Structure formats: structure tokens, C-alpha cells
Structure 1
Amino acid sequence: MQNPPRIVLAGLSGGSGKTFVSIGLCRALARQGLAVQPFKKGPDYIDAAWLFHASRRPACNLDPFLLDRQVVAALFAERARTADISVIEGNRGLFDGKDVEGTCSTAELARQLSAPVILVLDATKMTRTAAAIVAGCKAFEPGLALAGVILNRTAGERHRAILTRCIEELAGVPVLGCLPKMTANPIPERHMGLVSDQEHGAREAALDAIADVVERCVKLDRVLDTARAAAPLAPTALVPWPERVCTPEQAPVIGYVHDAALWFYYPENLEALARAGAELRRVSLLSDEPWPELHGLYLGGGFPETQAAALSANVGIRSHVRALAEHGLPMYAECGGFMYLCRAVQLDDARHDLAGVFPLSTRLCAKPQGLGYVEALVEADNPFHPLGLRLSGHEFHYSACTETDAGSSLPPLALRMLRGHGMLSGRDGLLAGNVFASYTHIHALGAPHWAPAFVRAALRFRSGHGATPG
């Protein structure tokens, strides 16, 4: 599509209701037969998963910190090309970025994509002040197209009428919807945001319930008109996907863990591995089904703490993963995947044994132990990241490393943190043979060396080791 219809849904802060509106809008428009392409601004897996189920199209993360401006534009254009409307959910407050200038904010992304912004505003216990807030947002930064407001948590018809008149007459911004106060959220929250889509017992019913509210309370035709009136999108280059490093006949098999414990993957990371030449096979740490022969293993993030007892009880898979690591299989683990490769995880008074690739454990804490964007310098040789590289990523973990086991020394750590927390003493990236594990998540299009390096490591393993142990 030459100029894809698009909107950005933004809030004043986290908890404003923008995820509720984004999910409901995606499902409501999809139920009308429209092809809805969801996007999530920023490093987020949970909201993106819900947006995928709401729209029935894989969500795509757009992040001005993890990805160059040209890559953001190209990725958006590629994913939006076949959609009737693209819905981009922002993160945090509209102007909140990584510094005083608001670098990498939702507003910055909206300007990059020439996308109109619809502000989701929590109107609890306010009327005329809401107009002042909207007027301030409208004028705060040049180049921002604030095209509408959706009011959340309104108290009744009189409240909604006063709010609408104040905002439209005093701020000059149309009100596109007024949502009531909800007695209960169909998708509850917990320590890392919304409950996982894989753990919700009535996912489709919850999504339809949210869409029902949005259909009743939001002017969908006005939202579509706003999206279709977006300014022309500047021409973009193609997405810089990696080139193949082997022929299809030579493709190494790289497994990726995807189950209720580990499922945090950017779709582009898996696509980059496939484009670089890998044959991807989905495997589970929770099932006792035998794994195929592998030449590499990718363990993403997730919620190993919620599945700790089941992970620990699956002794056969725990032993198999440890044997693969000892056999030299290239493994790349992020956050929850790293936790699984440790000796154990401590949850309150319960200790659950895990794979034991690394001689240390983790414990779940009440507050985040690492949160936000990270930058790190690669200071040790490893199969995945070149020495001396400045690596960009993000971390979000409630777990912390505990001391190494008695009689064991700490394995080398490849990353020196320039920004962020990491694992231990400002470092991240544990190494054990061909295993690399970190709290740092990366995006393959922001680290273009990663997927080809992973595939080459898998090719070397197959050439030098043959079959993996059964």
C-alpha cells in the first residue's frame, strides 16, 4: 500500500489504559473483516502477544533505541503493506524517552512514521483540567499530529458530556471515544505487566469482552478516518535482512524453546535466523517429547518462575540440555533462558533445581533488579558477538544472581555494562564453552551480526561434532 493507514495510541503514563484500547481496537476492527497490523513501540513481548491474538496477525516491535531510524521505517513499511490499518501502541507516556530530550519516545516514533496520534487519557476525577492536559500535549513538541482523544475511566453520561465539550472546545482536539470505569480488567496484571496470553484461561472470551466495550464506546469510523488521513509516508529502503551463509541443503537445525516457560522472542529474531540459513525447530522444556537432532539452541526469555516446579520435575530434559552444553552445542539464552541454565531458582522458601549448565543460582525478588535499555561492550571471545562491539539491548528482570556453588569459580562474563544492570558487578553475558547467556535481550535487526554468527556456529558444531547426544 502506497500510504498505509496508521495511528499511534499513546498515554500520559503507564497504566493509562492504552493497552486495553489497543487490544480492543485491534479485535473490534478485525471482527469487521479488516486486516489489522499491530505494532508495539518499545521492548515488550507481553503486550505484543496480546495484540497478535487480538488482530490475528503477528505484532511487530518498533524501537528507536534498538533499531536505526531507517530500519524502523523499512520494517514498518514491510509489515504495514498488506494491512487495511496499522495500530501502533506506544509505551509509557507520550513524550517519555531515555533522557531529558525525550529521545526514543512514542512521540518521536510517531514523527518518524508521520502517524497521527490518539491520546488515551485517564479522566478519573477531572473535567476542564483534561482540556489543559490535551492542549499541553498538542503544543509541547513541534511536528506531532495529535488527532484525537479517547477518554478512559469516565464516571457517567454527564461526566462524559462535560469532558468532551471541554476538550473539543478548549483544546481543539476531537474526542473519539469515552470508556467507562471497569469493575474488573478481563486481562489481569502481575509483576511484569499483563498476565501471559499463554496462561490466561479464557483468552478469546477476554479479547471479545474488551472489543465489545470498544465497539460500544469508541467511534470506530472516526478512528479509521483518522488513520486514512495520515500524511504521506516517505519512501523507505528494504529491511536489511541477513544474507544466507549456507545453501538450503546445508541448513543447520537450530531449536528454539517455545512453551509456557520461555516464549519471549521478537519474530524478526527467528526470521533473521531462517534468512541466514537455519532450519528452525520448536522445542519445549516442559514436555517429555524427545527433541530432534540439533546444531544450535535458542532459549528466549519468559516466565520460568511460574513454571519452576514443572521445569524442575522434567529431569530428562534438564539432563539433556546440560549434556548438549557439555557436548559443545552453541546455545544463546536471554533472561529467562539464562535462569533455566543455572543450577536452581529460589522462589520464597522453595528451591527448584534446573539445568545446571552454570554453577550459580537465581532468586526471584519483590522489585525489578534490572529495567530498561542497556548498552554493553563485548570484552571476551564468544561465538555470537564480535570482540569490541558496543551492543544495544534491554533488560527487565525480577530475578538476581546468587553466589556460585561451593567449590566452583564464576565463569567468564563477556559483557561490560555501559548502561544497565546486567548480572553481577556491572557485567553480563556468562560463557561456558559455546553457551552465551545474559539478562540482555537483543533485536536481530539492531544486531545484524548475530543471526549469521549463530548459523555459522551451528555449522561448525555439525561439522566438528556430528550428532547431538540422544
Structure 2
Amino acid sequence: MAGLSGGTGKTIVSLALARAFRRAGRVVAPFKKGPDYIDAQWLGLAAGRGCSNLDPFFHSREIIRSVFYHKSAGADLSLVEGNRGLFDGMDERGTCSSSELARMIDCPVILAIDCTKMTRTVAAVVQGCAGFEPGLNLAGVILNRTAGERHRSVLLRSMETYSDVPVLGVLPKMGANPIPERHMGLMSDQEYDGAGHLDRLADLAEEWLDLDGIAAVADAAPNFGPAPAPVFPGPAAAKAARIGYVHDAALWFYYPENLEALEHAGAELVRVSLLDGEPWPEVDGLYLGGGFPEVFAERIAANRPALDYLHSRAEAGMPIYAECGGFMVLCDTLEVDGASHKMAGVFPLGTAFCPRPQGLGYTEAEVVEDSVFFPRGERILGHEFHYSMCVSDGAADLRHGLRMCRGQGSALGRDGFLHRNTWAGYNHIHALAVPGWANRFVAAAAAYGKGGGQ
């Protein structure tokens, strides 16, 4: 599922299709193109099955095909939601675009078009897209945000007259987005029960979309060819360490492959929360992903046992890896709407939530100091999307592990603040793009668990 740009409705269409096919008894394997946690989470909820990301910036064609093939196992249909416009990539050649991803996995494309204030022009746009890039299989279009029967009639006649690309459905304008949004996109399902709204989207799909025609497009996809290598080659290592990972409404941005990589490397994963007040079990390492700590800052600040545990374990040399929201929790304070909330205090820094993004997009960085997670000299591809920023003058004086070659990072082109065996910053990684990270994390946790913490 692709669009002409961001905001054309392809996410809503993808959710509607995933839910409708699931209700019809089909097993749907969902995927999201690009670095995205929120849409992927909703796609997984709609399909009732975990969603993986496919990203040509992070991953080679071989890795992408492996993830797609193996995560589709046992499914009747695989649904990939693109991002931005179909041909929009990192340069004028469309590098890392949704169309490039479609070619990598030999996947037919259905284009969702926002038809607001357009009729015949839609046919011209579709024909232009169909012939724009060699090797693209534009198998159909969905006409979105149509204004009424007359509008739909002119659109359909125009497509029949001027285009040979089939129309696989039309959708009327919706009065409001069925899933609330906030600064990073759709609101998290961790905070909002969207099951009923997903079912209403499925109702919409069943009424307005040609589900049989869309399923036929998937069925007619080219043969995938020989099975690629497994996502994680070789047998999983024996369990060597317990690693806790914070997963609650405040922090929940984890690529499934990051957790799978840790397990494959020998980690026993233990889920913990900053919000429920339950005591944390003893672990050998901690992983704090991104999320929305600014929304729950008061509740996090009130959970002093968890914050004190983080601080004491960092001082004891436990391996702790924190990304974005997790980094904010490890700082001294978090400022939201003028109120300052006391956090774990591992780093003598404050972060403040801002009305506009402070870092957005892909990142490239060089490791400039050895740590238990990365060796000096390694090049890391990642991404960042944060509305907060460091507000402490002392950031420049702290040890840091990354020099940002592309992207903002935390301060002065730096990221990956270091304190003993704690690493924290705004940069997100995908484990399949940094293949040694999981093994090193587990090894460090195992050493700590045996009394080898530094």
C-alpha cells in the first residue's frame, strides 16, 4: 500500500485492509516500510500478528528479503505499508523509496490517492505513476476521500477512459480520524483502546473496497524464488544473562528483531514497567527503548524505587542501553510545559519537551569511544525522531560514544552519552543493521551477572 505523499490515508487504508482480511479468516503478515514504531504497532494490532519493518537504508536486499520471507511464514497474505510518496527517497534517484522496496521483494503496489478537489486529473496522475519507473508493478488504485456519488462517478469514468490501472475501491471522506493523533503520529494503542475503531475501519473496507480484487493482486504476485537465509543464522545461544526491558505506555519503541537478536544471542528477556509500581526482578542488564515519557513524566517521577534502581545499577556498572525516551528517563530532569520532573539522575543533564521536532530522520554516526556495546571506529546507521532536547550546559563535557555524521543527536553533533557501562542517547538502531550489538550486550550482561561489572 503506497501513497502519493504522506497524509494521503494509506495508513488508514492499510489498517482497514488488515482488519477486514483478518475478520474474513485470512492470516495477514503486516510490514511497515521505514523507521516507524507507531504505525507498525497499529498494523500488528489490526492483523493480530507482529509487524516488522523493512528499510532499504538500514538493510541490504538480502536482509530485507530474508525478513519478509520468514516473517510471512504461515500467512495467507502479506501487507506492506509504504511511507511518504511512492517514489520519494533520499535523492533524485529515489534511493530507499517505497518503490525500491517493492522491487526488492517483487511486490505489486496498490496506490491510495487522496481525490480531494480532483476528478480527471487523478487518471493522469495514475498513468504517470504507472510508467514512471521501470519494473514497478502498479496493480491497482484506491480512490480515497471522495466527496459524494457525483464525484465518485466522474472519477470512475475518468479512470475507465484514460487508464488501464484497475480501481480496487473508493472510500468516502471520513468526518474525523478514527484513531487520535499526537505529535509523533497516531496515538499509541498502549494508551487508547482502538479495537472498536479498527473494526469500524474493517466495516468501511467491506463496504467500499474490492477485497476479492485486492486479494487477487496478492495472489498474482511473482514467485518469490528460493528461500533466503534465516534472519538469525545458526542455533540460538544458550541462555547466559537476564536482560530487563521497559515495556509500558511510557516506553515501548522496540523493533521486534532487536528483542529477537538479544534472545538469539543468549538473553532471557524480562519485561518491566516504570508505571505500575511493581518491584523489578534482579537482572544482569537493562534496555530502555523510546516512547512518550513526557506524557507520563509525573507518574515516572513518582516511581522513585524504579528510578533509584536504575541509578544504583548504572553506578554498579550494569550494562544499560537507552534510546531516546529511555535516555530522557536516565537524565536528571524532564521538563514538560514548564514543570520539571525528577528522573533517574544517571546523567547530570536535563531534557525539555519542545513544540516542534528537534531531530528527525536517518542518522549516520561514528563510534569514537569503546564501550561494552560498540567498538571504536564502527559506523552506525540509525534514525531519530524526538521533540525533546538537552537543556544542560554540561552536555559538552560528558563522555560520549558517537560523533554524528548525519542527524542531530543529543548535543553539539554528539550522542551516546557514556557512564560506566550505560549508553544513552537519541539515536535508535535496528539490530539487523548493527549485527554485533546484541552479542556484545548479552556478553556484557553475563559478565556483570558473574560479578565482572566495572
Same-fold call, TM cutoff 0.5: yes
Q: CA deviation at 1:164?
A: 1.6
Give, in angstroms, the shift of residue 237 of structure 1: 2.4
Kindly provide the CA deviation profile for residues 224-247 of structure 1, in whole angstroms up to 9, marking residues without a partner as x: 001100112132421341657853
- Does residue 336 of the first structure (1) align with residue 292 of the second (2)? no
Q: Paired residue for 2:400?
A: 413
Residue 289 of structure 2 corresponds to residue 300 of structure 1:
yes
Give the superposed CA RMSD. Answer: 1.5
Query: Does 1:206 pair with 2:165?
Result: no
Summarize deviations over 1:66-96 as a string: whole Å, max 9, x none: 1111000011000112100000000011011
**Which residue identity is paired with 2:282?**
E
Bigger CA drift: 231-240 or 209-218? 231-240
Aligned partner of residue 126 in structure 1, secondary structure = coil
2:252 aligns with: 263
Cα distance in structure 1, aligned partners of 2:161 and 2:74? 37
Q: Which amino acid aligns with 1:142?
A: P
Would the alpha carbon gap of residues 23 and 246 (structure 1) be closer, same or farther in structure 2, given more than 3 Å must change?
A: closer
2:360 pairs with 1:368? no
Supply the distance in 2 between the matched residues of 1:108 and 1:239 (Cα, whole angstroms): 22
Is 1:237 the counterpart of 2:228 in the alignment? Answer: yes
Q: After the TM superposition, which residues 24-43 of structure 1 pair with which residues of structure 2 at under 5 Å, given as runs? A: 24-43=16-35
In the aligned structure 2, how far is the partner of 1:409 from the partner of 1:107?
Answer: 41
Give the AA of the match of 1:290: P
2:48 paired with 1:56 = yes
Deviations 1:262-320 (A, max 9, x none): 00000110011001000000000112211111100000000001111100111111111
CA separation in 2, counterparts of 1:45 and 1:445? 16
TM-score for the superposition, normalised by structure 1: 0.94
Name the CA shift for 1:211/1:245 in 2 (closer, same or farther; >3 Å): closer
State which drifts further: 426-435 or 396-405: 396-405
Identity over aligned residues, as a percent?
57
Aligned counterpart, 1:461: 448
Query: In 2, distance between residues paired with 1:332 and 1:131?
Result: 50
- 1:283 corresponds to which letter in structure 2? V
Q: What are the superposed Cα offsets for residues 379-437 of structure 1, whole Å, 9 maximum, x if unpaired?
A: 101111121011001110011111146xx973211111111111111111100000001
Q: Out of 338, 344, 367, which is 1:349 matched to?
A: 338
User: Which residue identity does 1:130 align to in structure 2?
Assistant: V
Secondary structure, in 3 states, of the residue corresponding to 1:140? Answer: coil
Instruction: Decide whether the 8 Å contact of 2:33 with 2:83 is kept in 1.
Output: yes
> How big is the shift at 1:58?
0.3
CA contact (8 A) 1:37 1:55 kept: yes
Q: Which of 77, 88, 92 is residue 80 of structure 2 equivalent to?
A: 88
- Does the 8 Å contact 1:254/1:297 carry over to 2? yes
Q: Could you tell me whether the CA contact under 8 Å between 2:279 and 2:305 is conserved in 1?
A: no
Deviation at 1:20, TM superposition (A): 0.2
Matches within 5 A, 1:176-195: 176-195=168-187
Per-residue deviation at 1:336? Answer: 0.5
Q: What residue number does 1:5 align with?
A: none
| Aligned partner of residue 264 in structure 2, secondary structure | helix
Q: Is residue 322 of structure 1 aligned with residue 311 of structure 2?
A: yes
Aligned-pair distance for 1:169? 2.5
- In 2, Cα distance between equivalents of 1:95 and 1:434: 42
For the 8 Å contact 1:268–1:443, the answer to whether it is kept is: yes
1:4 — aligned with what?
A: none
SS in 2 for 1:38: strand
Q: Any idea what the Cα deviations from partners look like across 1:450-470, whole Å, max 9, x if unmatched?
A: 10010000011112258xxxx
Q: Do the aligned partners of residues 317 and 404 (structure 1) sit closer, same or farther apart at CA in structure 2, a change above 3 Å counting?
A: farther
Who is 2:426 aligned against? 439
**For 1:242 and 1:328, how far apart are their aligned partners in 2?**
31
Separation (CA, whole Å) in 2 of partners of 1:169 and 1:385: 58
- The residue aligned with 1:284 is 273
Whether contact under 8 Å (2:69, 2:228) holds in the other structure is no
Structure 1 residue 98: Cα displacement:
1.3
Residue among 326, 347, 352 paired with 1:358: 347
Superposed CA deviations along residues 12-49 of structure 1, whole A, max 9, x for unmatched, are 11110000000010000000111001000000000011
Q: Which amino acid aligns with 1:323?
A: S
| AA of the residue aligned to 1:123 | C
For 1:204 and 1:322, how far apart are their aligned partners in 2?
A: 38
CA contact (8 A) 2:410 2:425 kept: yes
Structure 2 residue 375 is the aligned partner of structure 1 residue 386: yes
Cα displacement (A) at 1:214: 1.1
User: Is 1:242–1:276's contact at 8 Å kept on the other side of the alignment?
Assistant: no
SS of alignment partner, residue 304 of structure 1: coil
